[in-house]
């Protein structure tokens, strides 16, 4: 009797194994970077990692296959800045199931990620959206652009603490794009263009000032050098005249005669240079060189007399 029972039991086990193999409910393989949650008769039983495993057909079942790889979820939200500008943010969140095993399977990240939340990704998105809509209104539009990474980092720290309780690790939260209303974007472009035009005008004005200062300095130095040259020339002329007069006086000519001779020589040289110029001008000169000084004095006296002459008043008409 006992032997018959053992035989029946063996047959049942063999049939059970054959059915399990045929239906695929006996052996299974877990891929790398994945974990499988096994439930026995509807209750959590264990968590298995990558490799070849077996389970009891019709008693144990694979409740879920959890990926341990880092995943990405992107979404768009609208927020308002401190200066009442509504902007669109393109947000990207990188996350993975927590690798913590805990002292018991129920404290592991795999267990929490499956049993704690019905829609963990949607919940994480709500957390991030709420954190961003609480953070952005304290910044102006320009500050949002300047502190985009700091805002994303603060949001990631806040949401990461919340998601840890549900078995997820939030790796990073990125604000990948800031979309502006068309009229605001046009205004910002006009402001930037005006600022660049102003900077260009200031640079041009500064360049012109430097050019003018440089030219003035060069002109001043040129005039200084020209004055020195004229002074040296006059000194040389005076020295030459003194030497010439001394040479003439050594021949026995009186000082008055020497002066007249020197003046005549200068006068003839001047007239020669005037003739070489070829200008169409008429010059009235006395025939006698000795009268030139008297002529000059007469011209000066005539000019003075013309300035001092009074015009007689007009006679009243009858």
SS (H, E, C) 114-151: HHCCCCHHHHHHHHHHHHHHHHHHHCCHHHHHHCHHHH
* Pairing verdict, β 60-67 and 34-40: antiparallel
pLDDT on residue 38: 94
Segments in the chain below pLDDT 70: 1-5, 7-24, 249, 252-253, 255, 257-259, 261-262, 267, 270-271, 274-318
**pLDDT of amino acid 45:** 93
The whole-number pLDDT of residue 189 equals 75
Q: Do residues 73 and 95 touch, judged by C-beta distance below 8 A?
A: yes
Burial of 152 (0-12, 13-18, 19+ CB in 10 A): buried
Phi and psi (nearest 5°) for 77?
Answer: -140, 160
Positive or negative, the CA dihedral 21, 26, 32, 35 is positive
* Distant-in-sequence contacts of 152-156, Cβ < 8 A, 24+ apart: 155/128, 155/131
SS3 172: strand
Non-local (6+) Cβ contacts of 180 within 8 A are 85, 87, 141, 188
| Residue that the structure tokens 């009074």 belong to | 310
CA-based torsion, 256, 259, 261, 263: positive or negative: negative
pLDDT at 318: 46
Q: Alpha carbon of 94 to those of 27, 97, 125: distances in Å?
A: 33, 11, 11
Q: Which of 34, 137, 120 is nearest to 82 (CA)?
A: 137
E-strand spans in the chain? 27-30, 34-40, 43-48, 51-54, 60-67, 71-80, 86-97, 168-179
């Amino acid at each position: 009797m006992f032997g018959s029972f053992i035989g029946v039991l063996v047959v049942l086990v063999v049939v059970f194994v054959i059915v399990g193999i045929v239906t695929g409910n006996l052996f299974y393989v877990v891929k790398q970077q994945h974990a499988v949650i096994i439930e026995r008769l509807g209750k959590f039983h264990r968590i298995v990692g990558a490799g070849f495993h077996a389970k009891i057909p019709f008693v144990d079942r694979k409740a879920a296959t959890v990926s341990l790889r880092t995943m990405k979820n992107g979404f768009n939200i609208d927020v308002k800045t401190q200066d009442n500008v509504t902007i669109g943010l393109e947000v990207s969140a990188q996350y993975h199931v927590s690798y913590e095993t805990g002292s018991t399977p129920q404290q592991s990240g795999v267990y929490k990620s499956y049993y704690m939340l019905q829609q963990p990704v949607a919940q994480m998105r709500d957390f991030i959206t709420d954190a961003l809509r609480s953070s952005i209104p304290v910044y102006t539009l320009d500050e949002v652009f300047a502190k985009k990474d700091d805002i994303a980092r603060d949001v990631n720290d806040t949401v990461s603490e919340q998601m840890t309780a549900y078995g997820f690790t939030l790796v990073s939260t990125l604000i990948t794009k800031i979309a502006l209303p068309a009229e605001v974007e046009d205004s910002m472009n006009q402001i930037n263009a005006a600022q660049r035009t102003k900077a260009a005008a200031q640079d041009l004005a500064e360049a012109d000032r430097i050019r003018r200062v440089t030219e003035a300095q060069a002109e001043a130095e040129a005039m200084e050098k020209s004055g020195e040259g004229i002074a040296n020339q006059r000194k040389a002329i005076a020295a030459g005249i003194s030497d010439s007069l001394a040479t003439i006086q050594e021949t026995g000519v009186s000082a008055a005669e020497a002066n007249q001779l020197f003046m005549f020589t200068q006068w003839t040289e001047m007239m020669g240079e005037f003739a070489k110029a070829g200008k169409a001008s008429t010059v009235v000169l006395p025939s006698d060189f000795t009268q030139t000084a008297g002529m000059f004095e007469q011209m000066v006296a005539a000019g003075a007399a013309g300035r001092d002459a009074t015009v007689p008043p007009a006679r009243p008409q009858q």
